[in-house]
Amino acid sequence: MASEESPMLVPTPHEAVYDRFTPDQKKWILFRVSFVGLLAMFIQVTFVPSIPRIAKDLDLTDAVVSLAFSISIFANAIGALIWASYSSFYGRRTIYLWGMPFLCVGSCGVALSASLQSLLFWRFVQMFGCSGALSLGIGVIGDLYKLEERGTAVGAFFSVTLIGYTVAPFVGGAATQYWSWRNLHYSIGAWGLLEMLFIYLSLPETSHPGTLGIDKLPSRRSIHIVWINPLSTLWLLRSPNLFAVCILTQNNAVLVVPMAYTIGVQYGITNEAIIGAFFLPNGLGSFTGTLIAGRLSDIVIRRWREKRRGAWCPEDRLRATWIGGLIIVPLSIGASGLITTYIGGPIGLALNILCLYANGVGVDSVTNPINSYNVDVVHSRSAEATAACIASWSLILSAASTIIVPSIERIGVAWTNIIAAVLAIIGQGIIFLTIRYGDHMRASIDVGFSTIESN
């Protein structure tokens, strides 16, 4: 179990495993998996600005079509658990290659959808195929980078991934407005085929030698298929500290999901491309936040190790979340709700853009250290720990996204956002308790925590 008494003064024999790849090879691998993450994020977010047009084409209401967004979040949760569990047995590269066909077929299915049932089914398949991108990417980073390098690497990974989040709404809105949402999904399917080809040709297996489940079998068939219960990954959350950080949902949903019904309605914007463009400041904020938080969390680890005279406490990394989680996130959410309600015209619009940018910075200032922390504390199951966290976030967001618009209709934008801001502050309080009592929480239930020798 990781402990504050774990010495970090001298290199450990375990660190030699990180020298299997040269620095340039590590950068190339990080680049490759980051672009898979970019595609996954692009697929998830590009759907939102096209909801009104899809509803019109299929003769449905916007609220009903929004279920496809909710079901995609659910698919992301289920898929992340499955792909992460199997990656610990078969390896990262193999699972990347298994997921891509689902993505490609699902994308074509979405493009051909003529009914709500068809749309929901194929949207699930599409998101299921790319749902392992983030957890596998974090797992690869855990395979390649040492403890005090991980935060920066995670920041670089998400900075590329969040390009998809930044540009996808605008691209999705523009494609819907001036091209066709169906052609957009055909294009996504083609992109998936190219990614699968690049992975096959250029991505090596990064898992540490001898750690995969298939490597430990006394004998194996040429095609060896096993059943792994994906829900077993969630059993990691019986650990109080992992549960605490994994129930903290990303608080940008209350701003970005109902964009067409808040900023769009208040400021008279109906063009899908323009509505999609309003995702740009939030994405740029996320890009900024994840780069800063990644490097900051590594600095925090090093400085607190010096204060502890070489001892390592995993929860020190979470100290990097304070400014984002306690100040930037709740203020940006609450302010946006009040501005949208009471300030009209160009001034209100400009202030909302500022809030969207600040929210992106704040949210990723929290999620980046949490993702790195998960790798630190259960290094041997880093992809699974990340998947459990993503599943928790996704399931919470799936439920929350279905009530955001009804809440706005019932109690208004201001009160809906204020409630979300209060929840963000409560979440940061949970982080504080985890930092303060992390050693006791880890000692209460040991799920196979890493030591400095195995990190």
Of residues 13 and 348, the one with the higher pLDDT is 348
pLDDT tens per residue, range 61-72: 777 777 777 788
* Total tally of structural domains belonging to the chain: 1
- 385-431 pLDDT tens trace: 888 888 887 777 767 777 887 888 889 889 999 998 998 899 889 99
Q: pLDDT by residue (tens digit) across 349-383? A: 999 999 999 999 999 899 889 988 988 888 888 88
pLDDT confidence of residue 251? 64
Q: Residue 190: give the domain boundaries.
A: 17-208+230-454
Task: Please tell me the distance from the alpha carbon of residue 219 to that of residue 132, in angstroms, as a whole number.
Answer: 28
3-state helix, strand, coil in the chain (%, to 5): 80, 0, 20
Neighbouring C-beta atoms of residue 11, cutoff 10 Å = 9
- For residue 187, count other CB atoms closer than 10 A to its CB: 15
Q: Is 247 helix (H, G, I), strand (E, B) or coil?
A: coil
In a domain, 224, yes or no: no
Measure the CA dihedral 430/290/421/428, to 10°: 10
In a domain, 41, yes or no: yes
Query: What is the pLDDT at residue 25?
Result: 92
Task: Give the contacts of 435 (CB within 8 A, at least 6 positions apart).
Answer: 315, 316, 318, 319
Say how many Å lie between the first and final Cα of the chain, rounded: 11
User: What's the pLDDT score for residue 347?
Assistant: 92
DSSP per residue, 335-358: HHHHHHHH--HHHHHHHHHHHHHH
Rounded Cα gap, residues 397 and 367, in angstroms: 14
The reply to whether 218 falls in a domain is no
**pLDDT digits 0-9 by tens, 102-139:** 999 999 998 998 888 888 899 999 999 998 898 899 99
Two tokens, residue 260: 């067409």
Q: CATH code at 241?
A: 1.20.1250.20
d(CA 269, CA 222): 58
3-class DSSP assignment, residue 131: coil
Q: What is the model's pLDDT at position 220? A: 66
73 has a pLDDT exceeding 60: yes
Question: In this predicted model, what pLDDT tens digit does every residue of 20-42 receive, in sequence order?
Answer: 888 899 999 999 999 999 998 88
Q: How far is CA 164 from CA 84, 111, 168, 174, in A?
A: 22, 20, 5, 15
- Please name the helix (run of DSSP H) or strand (run of DSSP E) that holds residue 385, with its range, or none: helix 382-411
pTM of the model: 0.80
Tell me whether residue 327 is in a domain.
yes
Highest mean pLDDT among 158-172, 176-190, 239-253: 176-190
pLDDT of residue 6: 44
12 part of a folded domain:
no
Instruction: Check pLDDT > 90 for residue 210.
Output: no
Pair 245, 362: CB distance under 8 Å? no
Domain assignment present for residue 216? The answer is no
Residue 359 forms part of a structural domain: yes
Higher pLDDT, 17 or 317: 317
- The whole-number average pLDDT for the span 427-449 is 88
| Contact between residue 438 and residue 328 where contact means Cβ atoms under 8 Å apart | no
Q: What is the DSSP letter of 208?
A: P
Query: What type of residue sits at position 349?
Result: L
Q: What is the mean pLDDT of residues 143-169?
A: 84
**Among 36-40, 162-166, 183-187, 234-238, whose mean pLDDT is lowest?**
162-166
Facing residues of 6 across strands? Answer: 312
Nearest to 382 by CA among 447, 303, 311: 447
| Identity of the amino acid at 318 | L
In a domain, residue 409? The reply is yes
H-state helical runs in 48-205: 51-57, 62-90, 92-112, 116-130, 133-144, 150-178, 181-202
Q: Do the Cβ atoms of 134 and 80 come closer than 8 Å? A: yes
